[in-house]
């Protein structure tokens, strides 16, 4: 049950990131969250939308796993999706902002630990 809750939280985080990157990148809210200027946001909005799409794919994998159930193929999809989120979070923390570690990698790591522990 804990693994389901934490996996759902990670999926929701990535749906939120999708929304921010695809629809709010140039808006004041998106610029505030990502710490960008209006000029940079306008120049990079297509790249941000692409990033948002990838975050949507991560969320989709986790939602698929939750729908399938966290056993069998659903368990495998959850492990894959959470591992991808952890890797993306570690890379983002190393190259963009340490905050990404706590927003993405830590929640996914907790979810993966709960999944592997059968919680």
Q: If pLDDT is split at 50, 70 and 90, which confidence band does 9 have?
A: very high
Calculate the dihedral angle through the C-alpha atoms of 76, 2, 108, 54, rounding to the nearest 10 degrees. 60
pTM: 0.94
pLDDT of residue 115: 98
CA 87 – CA 105 distance, rounded (Å): 7
pLDDT of residue 6: 98
> What is the DSSP secondary-structure string of 15-71?
HHHHHHHHHSTTSHHHHHHHT--HHHHHHHHHHHHHHHHHHHHHHHHHHHHHHH-SS
pLDDT, tens digit, for every residue of 26-72? Answer: 999 999 999 999 999 999 999 999 999 999 999 999 999 999 999 99
Q: Mean pLDDT, to the nearest integer, of 96-103?
A: 94
pLDDT of residue 94: 97
């Amino acid at each position: 049950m804990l693994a389901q809750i934490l996996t759902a939280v990670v999926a929701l985080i990535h749906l939120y990131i999708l929304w921010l990157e695809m629809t709010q990148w140039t808006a004041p809210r998106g610029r505030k969250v990502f710490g960008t200027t209006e000029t940079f946001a306008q120049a990079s909005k297509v790249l941000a939308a692409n990033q948002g799409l990838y975050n949507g794919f991560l969320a989709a994998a986790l939602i698929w796993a939750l729908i399938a159930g966290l056993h069998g193929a659903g368990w495998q999809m959850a492990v894959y999706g959470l591992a991808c989120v952890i890797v993306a979070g570690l890379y983002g923390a190393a190259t963009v902002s340490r905050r990404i570690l706590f927003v993405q990698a830590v929640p996914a790591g907790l979810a993966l630990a709960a999944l592997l522990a059968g919680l």
